[in-house]
Amino acid sequence: MATEHLSPALRAPASSRPYAKARPGYGKRTAAGQHDRRADDFALMPERERYIAGYVDRLPDGAAMDIKSLAKHLPLYGQMAVSSALKALGVAGHLRRVRCLAGEGDQVRWVSRTYWSRTARDNEWWDAFLASEGSHSTSEATPTPPPTDTAPRATAPSATTPAPAAPPPTTPTLPKQRTSVSPPAAASPAYLALAQLARRDTRLALSAADCRALEPLAADWFARGVDADYLTQALTAGLPAQVGSPVGLVRRRLTDKLPPHAPSTPAPATTAAPKRRLLAECTECGRPGSPEALPDGLCRPCRTAPPETPAIAPAERDVHALVGQLRDLTRLP
């Protein structure tokens, strides 16, 4: 007699969590020489850092490592928490943020990357590793080939192919009235760079009038030899959590961070220093510098910044004094 199997079927394995993919040349890069993944990785770190480190460790190379993308896929923590955790992971020796030149010949651009090491490394190891990475080209992106014409080409009729019949005559019609519309003027590189800021960070969303007003200031940057990637990185690095006036903040940064003029005469070839292809970035504010000048992945102001004052619990506040202050503020003169 056949027996009926009442055991449930095996569940299908859960699919991997989605992740944001960075633009070509950007995103996560895995450092060499790591130990194999173990269950006790990051066990000595606090719970928040351990959780975020485990997620970052399983991201593939090329995944987005900016704070906004990570916070979007980490339901337990927001952008401020992710920023603090990445700073702690940098101090612990697990990551370094860098800005490097990608491309070959004249087709080069600055890209931002985050090197990740499951094994905690000291500052000396990171300095040597970043120096070796900057000594050669680190671009994986290849120039996009020109589009090929896939439309069928017209061939001349051969002697054996009969010529196509002439179309039948049509009744002439009056031409439609056309309105003269002048084509829009081509936007300058400075205008386009300002208009693209909102795609990099929505806190810097500028209107068309704002872009036209700031265009002369941005054009001065291009006149000094920088490109759109450099300008965008300088304007979006270390933004505050809330930006009340994007046009005012961008105008201030365009004025305060204006780069110097390039020298008119090139230095002699015998004394010219090799062009640095890699700069480290402060994990906290994004300020660029040499790897040796950013120990623990932090610049001097961020290393010496005083710790944040902890918020006072509501039960520990003097309620009567607080009410009195509010009354004084609302009292008419």
- Contact by Cβ (8 Å): 37, 124: no
Tell me if 274 is assigned to some domain: no
Do 115 and 199 share a domain, yes or no? Answer: no
Report if residue 65 sits inside a domain: yes
pLDDT at residue 159, rounded to an integer: 44
Contact 98, 279 (CB under 8 A): yes
Parallel, antiparallel, or unpaired: how do β-strands 95-104 and 107-116 relate? Answer: antiparallel
pLDDT of residue 168: 57
Q: Residue 90 CA to chain centroid, in angstroms? A: 18
Say if 275 falls within a structural domain: no
One domain for residues 44 and 114: yes
> For residue 165, is it within any domain?
no
**Listed residues 134, 151, 180: the one ending a domain:** 134
In terms of Cβ atoms closer than 10 Å to its own Cβ (0-12, 13-18, 19+), residue 20 is: middle
Residue 157: the pLDDT is: 45
Q: Do residues 130 and 46 both lie within one domain?
A: yes
Domain range enclosing 213: 189-239+246-256
Query: Could you list the mean pLDDT of each consecutive 10-residue stretch along the chain, which spans 333 residues?
Result: 47 54 88 87 91 93 92 91 94 92 74 92 91 64 41 44 54 48 66 89 90 92 87 87 89 89 60 64 88 89 69 55 65 55
Q: Compute the distance between CA of residue 126 and CA of residue 123 in angstroms, rounded to an integer.
A: 5
Roughly what angle, to the nearest 10 degrees, separates helices 47-57 and 79-91?
A: 80
Please give the pLDDT value at position 153. 44
Domain-ending residue, one of 108, 134, 160: 134
Q: Does residue 92 belong to any structural domain of this protein?
A: yes
Q: Residue 239: its pLDDT value, please? A: 85
How many structural domains compose the chain?
A: 2
- pLDDT at residue 259 in the model: 85
Is residue 300 in a domain?
no
Question: Does any domain span residue 221?
Answer: yes
Domain ends where: 134, 154, 179? 134
CATH at residue 68 = 1.10.10
Q: Is 54 inside any structural domain?
A: yes
pLDDT at 325: 67
